[in-house]
Amino acid sequence: MSETPRILIVDDEQPVCRSIASALEGQQGEIVTALSGEEALEKDQENPHDIIVADLMMPGISGMDLLKTVRERRPDTVFIMITGYPSIHTAVQAVKLGAFDYVTKPFTPDEIRSTISRALERKKILAEELSGAASGYPEVSIPDGTHVIPGNSWVRESGDGNAHVGVHHMLLRTIGKIASVEFPGVDEKKTQGDSCLWIIDEQKRIHRVWCPATGRVVAVNTELEKDISKLLNDPYRSGWILLIAPADLEKDLENLKNWGGF
């Protein structure tokens, strides 16, 4: 990645492109915009981009098509999808295919900035891993039977008809120092792709954790409010965040990856 990262914003609605570009202006890198998937491919072919922020639903070449084509050329390109609520499940599938994350409409400038910040941090982490540099993070062991929204969250059956939900270790690494977490309420119903935890970092940026399965919140791990290190050091066991009663876990798992992966 260059010292000044190149970020391509793709949306068929010009006001959306402008709002994202405005949110990132002067903070994150060199900003380029495109009003179609076709224009995006041309611009990326001429001068490759480090990060692409693309609307999932566009006429012609869709965001999903753009994701597949660019990642065939350059697997290290970081993709962030913009999606509306009706296409949440498609967005989850896009993450399964290699998108870094997705942002739901309507979004705030802070959401865009925090997502881009994590994307840049992830590229830095992966570059360090490829170079063989020591990561400084504890080794992570992902238990069998764990299914993930790559780089975001995980779910695993608990053996009593319920399922534990937690945060993927790569998301935690890209956030940096955590100041606090906000849980949903017990008995709240969550749909796959909904926000199920809000992590606030030391710079007061808010990072959403996506619920990997649809169901009712049975319990939250209040121990994390006392000792956040459990979330960081043991994210797949004692650092779980929610216990849910899943509505149809088998169906939800079809959208997820089995056992880890970024």
Residue 141, in any domain of the structure: no
**Residue 65 pLDDT:** 95
Say if residue 51 is in the same domain as residue 80: yes
223-260 pLDDT tens trace: 998 899 999 899 999 999 999 999 999 999 988 888 64
| H or E segment and range at residue 9 | strand 6-10
Count other Cβ atoms within 10 Å, centred on residue 149: 26
Q: What is the mean pLDDT of the chain?
A: 89
| Nearest-angstrom CA–CA distance, 29 and 216 | 41
Q: Is it the case that residue 133 has pLDDT exceeding 80?
A: no
Are 164 and 103 within one domain?
A: no
Q: How far apart are CA 82 and CA 101, in angstroms?
A: 9
Does the structure show a pLDDT above 90 at 139? no
Does 139 fall in a domain?
no
Contact 213, 153 (CB under 8 A): no
Q: How far is CA 13 from the centre of its chain?
A: 23
Q: Quote the pTM value.
A: 0.86
> 224: phi > 0 → left, psi -120 to 50 → alpha, else beta; which?
alpha
| Residue recorded with tokens 């459990």 | 230
For 70, the token pair is 């660019």
Nearest CA to 240 out of 173, 174, 142, 161 is that of 142
d(CA 260, CA 145) in angstroms, rounded, equals 10
Percent residues over pLDDT 90 in the chain: 66
Q: Does residue 142 lie within any of the structural domains? A: no
Strand, helix or coil at 234?
coil
pLDDT band at 87 (very low <50, low <70, confident <90, very high): low
**Cα(87)–Cα(80) distance, rounded to whole angstroms?**
14
Same domain, 177 and 100: no
Q: Are residues 98 and 170 in the same domain?
A: no
**Per-residue pLDDT at 9 exceeds 60:** yes
**Are 229 and 174 members of one domain?**
yes
Q: Mark whether 19 and 85 lie in a shared domain.
A: yes
Instruction: Please give the residue range of the domain that contains residue 210.
Output: 147-258
Q: Label the pairing between strands 242-246 and 215-220.
A: antiparallel
